[in-house]
């Protein structure tokens, strides 16, 4: 079974973010694989293993041929990657990105399943999984906290407001996985060394049969009109616990009439 | 706006709170306000939807198919017939599925994670908070209507307008093609005591500083119960499998705006702060004096949750 995993290479989420003058995210620092995508990579590796064969293929879109995040996914055990990198992609919105990734999935070859995170840590638009599925004409099984594949079908436990639903569809399909669905493995030294030589198919927008007008700034059809600092919340009283700090909490609760 | 639609979702036999928030906001924009509901219980929802301003609800029963997938197919046809200028969705599980697929069907951009919405002339502008809520970004749609936006729950207050029940217009479920093959086999409702996390007046959340999954019940659950509140969690301990995802507060979890938020052993990662910094009052207990959570806490206690919280619980038990 061949599984494509959408992987985003993002700036370190622990470093405060910045917007460039054109209102796009400052991506000048060395990017890393989005933590959320590690769950998809791990899930794909486990499902391929259980199926007894097939490849896990990473699919990504990044400026300047950036591969540092992809190498982590390859070091975990993925076989190869398709990377779309093109100046025309700057300013792409969610729909344009989904168009690019859906084409990249097709380029990846004969894929039975696409795995994604529910949303990226930096942009967190959260529309990509179902948009890619719609573009491919496939079912989308979103917000999976458990995934099983067998007999040409995928069955998931889908998070809901009240609990979870068991949802099934035939393959091929797109599944988005929630954080914590599996425990991502650490790349081994052997894996890290092997990743250096794994193939990365770097393509442009034109290679995918898309027009530059469909992506980037021209394809976005939305415009940022203002950026402002949010009103800051001030820090209040701070005390060291000397064994009696709980009494201050009690009086705080009394003042709020919580107790 | 001459016509605004809200993708209406149910919480049992009532409209969800997020749906009522969207209707309340949409009323401000003027024009006709209508709802589209993908479910079998539109008749039960009609009173609540009408009370919050919707005059009509277009109702599609998806059977056992996923509501978002059928919803997008139904919306595509209904939009072609009725031409709403703006369609609002809650940033929910089914809302995100529907808006995503609809954006492809109509080839229209989407703005998601909205926390503010306004109309300026014929421009629709959606405000979103980025970088952990530190920066507010306004984005306007370009091109032709309909405009599609998803808004985070708790962005607006839900207030009734006193309208009468919405007229229910039953619409046959469209064929969603292969996409519609995803079927719901079983539904599981998780047992929950006390108020819902996103509606509770008091929320007590735990983080990695609890040290182990075993500490969650005696510290977090018990304190929440004593205060009549709901229990939450940081992403770190959800990822670690200590508590279910349904308890997660944050960017990828639930947004809460209680009267009081108590953070126990939570350092205050950006992801978490997005979900709770709108709380009226915040108390934080953490061993690390430099934890970012202290930057927004009204009362910060630098201390070990295992020492502070048991004493607090004992004092509250004696108090009641």
Encode pLDDT of B159-188 as tens digits.
Answer: 999 999 999 999 999 999 999 999 999 999
Own/partner contacts of B140-144, CB < 8 Å, gap of 24 or more, are B140/A222, B140/A223, B140/A225, B141/A221, B141/A222, B141/B109, B141/B111, B142/A221, B142/A222, B142/A223, B143/A221, B143/B108, B143/B109, B144/B108
**What is the Cβ-side half-sphere exposure of residue B172, based on CA atoms within 13 angstroms?**
2
| Angle A115-A121-A125 from CA coordinates, rounded to 5° | 75
Query: Residue A256 and residue B270: Cβ atoms within 8 Å?
Result: no
- By Cβ distance, the residue of B260, B295, B296 closest to A256 is B260
- What ipTM was assigned to the predicted interfaces of this complex? 0.92
Other CB atoms within 10 A of residue A8 CB: 24
What does the mean pLDDT of chain A come to? 92
Residues A122-132 have a mean pLDDT of 90
With bands split at pLDDT 50, 70 and 90, how would you rate the model's confidence at B320?
Answer: low
Q: Answer whether B100 sits within 8 Å of A256, measured CB to CB.
A: no
Cβ of B301 and A248 within 8 Å? yes
Burial class (CB within 10 angstroms; exposed 0-12, middle 13-18, buried 19+) of B262: buried
Answer for the pair B296, A235: CB distance below 8 angstroms, yes or no: yes
Tell whether the model's pLDDT for residue B267 goes beyond 90.
yes
Structure tokens at B267: 């350092």
d(CA B139, CA A225): 6
Q: Give A6→chain B minimum CA distance, Å.
A: 17
Quick check: B113 and A126 CB within 8 A?
Answer: yes
Q: Of the given ranges (A177-181, B58-62, B102-106), which has the lowest mean pLDDT?
A: A177-181
Least confident range from A91-95, A111-115, A188-192, B86-90: namely A91-95
- Put simply, the answer to whether B93 touches A169 (Cβ < 8 Å) is no
Q: How confident is the model at residue A17 (pLDDT cuts 50, 70, 90)?
A: confident
- Are B187 and A165 inside 8 Å of each other by CB? yes
Using CB atoms, pick whichever of A140, A225, A253 lies closest to residue B125.
A225
Distance (Å, rounded) from C-alpha A7 to C-alpha B31? 42
Question: CA-to-CA distance for A9 and B46, rounded, in angstroms?
Answer: 45
Report the share of chain B in percent with pLDDT over 90.
84
Q: Is the pLDDT at B126 greater than 90, yes or no?
A: yes
Residues of A in contact with B259 (CB under 8 A): 256, 258
CA-to-CA dists, residue B24 to A249, B27, B29, B93, angstroms: 36, 5, 10, 21
pLDDT band, very low/low/confident/very high, at A15 (cuts 50, 70, 90): confident
The reply to whether residue A134 touches residue B101, judged by beta carbons under 8 angstroms, is yes
Average pLDDT over residues B240-262: 89
pLDDT score for B4: 98
Residue A181: predicted pLDDT:
81
> Which of B299, B305, B312, B313 is best to mutate for the A interface (most A CBs within 10 A)?
B299
pLDDT averaged over every residue in chain B: 94
Which among B238, B289, B299 has CB closest to A237?
A: B299
Contacts of B245 in chain A (CB under 8 A): 145, 159, 178-180
Give me the pLDDT at residue A11, please. 82
CA distance A89 to chain B (A): 16
Higher pLDDT, A214 or B14: B14
pLDDT of residue A123: 77
Residues of B in contact with A140 (CB under 8 A): 66, 69, 97, 101, 179, 182
The predicted-structure confidence for A173-199, as pLDDT tens digits, reads as follows 999 998 778 889 999 999 999 999 999
Count of A–B CB contacts within 8 Å? 270
State the Cα–Cα distance between residues B90 and B115, nearest whole angstrom: 11
Chain B residue numbers with beta carbons less than 8 Å from the beta carbon of A247 are 315
Q: For residues B186-198, give the mean pLDDT.
A: 86
Give the chain B residue nearest A92 (alpha carbons).
B109
Report the pLDDT averaged over residues B69-96: 97
Name which of A124, A232, A242 to mutate to probe chain B: the one with the most chain B Cβ atoms within 10 A of its Cβ: A124
Which span out of A14-18, A26-30, A108-112, A232-236 was modeled with the highest average pLDDT? A108-112
Assess whether pLDDT exceeds 70 at residue B240. yes
pLDDT for the residue A220: 84
Q: How far apart are CA B53 and CA B24, in angstroms?
A: 7
Q: Exposure string (b/e) for A192-227, b if CB count within 10 Å is 16 or more?
A: eeebeebebbebebeebebeeebbbbebbbbebeee
Residue A133 pLDDT grade (very low, low, confident, very high; cuts 50, 70, 90): very high
Q: Note whether A134 contacts B72, CB cutoff 8 Å.
A: yes
Cross-chain residue pair B312–A249, CB shorter than 8 Å? yes
């Amino acid at each position: 079974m061949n599984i494509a995993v959408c992987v985003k290479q993002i700036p370190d989420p622990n470093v405060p973010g910045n917007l460039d003058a054109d209102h796009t995210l400052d991506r000048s620092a060395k990017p890393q694989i989005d933590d959320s995508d590690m769950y998809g990579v791990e899930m794909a590796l486990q499902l391929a293993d259980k199926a007894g064969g097939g490849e896990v293929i990473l699919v990504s879109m990044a400026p300047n041929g950036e591969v540092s995040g992809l190498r982590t996914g390859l070091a975990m055990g993925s076989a190869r990657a398709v990377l779309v990198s093109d100046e025309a992609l700057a300013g792409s919105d969610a729909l344009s990105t989904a168009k690019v990734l859906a084409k990249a999935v097709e380029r990846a070859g004969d894929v039975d399943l696409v795995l994604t995170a529910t949303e990226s840590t930096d942009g967190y638009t959260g529309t990509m999984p179902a948009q890619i599925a719609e573009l491919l004409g496939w079912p989308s099984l979103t917000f999976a906290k458990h995934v099983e594949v067998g007999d040409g079908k995928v069955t998931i436990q889908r998070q809901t407001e009240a609990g979870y639903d068991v949802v099934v569809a035939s393959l091929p399909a797109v599944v988005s996985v929630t954080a914590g669905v599996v425990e991502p493995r650490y790349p081994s030294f052997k894996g890290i060394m092997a990743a250096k030589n794994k193939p990365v198919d770097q393509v442009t927008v034109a290679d995918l049969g898309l027009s530059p007008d469909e992506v980037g700034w021209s394809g976005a059809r939305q415009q940022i009109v203002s950026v402002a600092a949010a009103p800051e919340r001030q820090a209040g009283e701070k005390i060291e616990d000397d064994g009696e700090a709980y009494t201050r909490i009690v009086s705080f609760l009394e003042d709020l009439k919580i107790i | 706006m001459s016509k605004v639609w809200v993708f209406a979702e149910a919480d049992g036999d009532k409209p969800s709170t997020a749906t009522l928030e969207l209707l309340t906001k949409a009323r401000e924009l003027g024009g006709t306000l209508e709802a589209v509901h993908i479910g079998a219980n539109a008749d039960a929802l009609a009173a609540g939807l009408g009370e919050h301003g919707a005059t009509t609800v277009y109702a599609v029963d998806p059977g056992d198919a996923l509501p978002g997938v059928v919803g997008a197919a139904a919306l595509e046809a209904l939009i072609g017939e009725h031409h709403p200028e703006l369609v609002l969705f809650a940033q929910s599980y089914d809302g995100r599925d529907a808006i995503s697929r609809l954006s492809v069907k109509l080839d229209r951009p989407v703005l998601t994670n909205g926390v503010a919405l306004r109309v300026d002339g014929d421009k629709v502008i959606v405000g979103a908070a980025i970088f952990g809520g530190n920066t507010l970004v306004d984005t306007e749609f370009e091109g032709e209507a309909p405009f599609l936006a998803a808004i985070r729950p708790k962005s607006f207050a839900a207030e009734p307008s006193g309208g009468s029940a919405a007229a229910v217009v039953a619409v046959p479920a469209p064929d969603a093609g292969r996409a519609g093959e995803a079927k719901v086999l079983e539904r599981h409702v998780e047992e929950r005591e006390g108020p819902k996390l996103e509606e509770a007046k008091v929320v007590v959340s735990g983080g990695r500083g609890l040290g182990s999954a075993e500490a969650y019940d005696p510290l977090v659950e018990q304190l929440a119960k004593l205060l009549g509140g709901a229990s939450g969690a940081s992403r770190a301990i959800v990822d670690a499998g200590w508590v279910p995802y349904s308890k997660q507060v944050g960017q990828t979890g639930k947004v809460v705006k209680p009267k009081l938020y108590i953070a126990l052993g939570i350092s205050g990662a950006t992801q978490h702060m997005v979900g709770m910094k709108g709380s009226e009052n915040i108390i934080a207990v953490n061993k690390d004096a430099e934890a970012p959570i202290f930057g927004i806490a009204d009362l910060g206690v630098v201390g070990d949750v295992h020492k502070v919280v048991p004493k607090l619980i004992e004092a509250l038990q004696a108090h009641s």
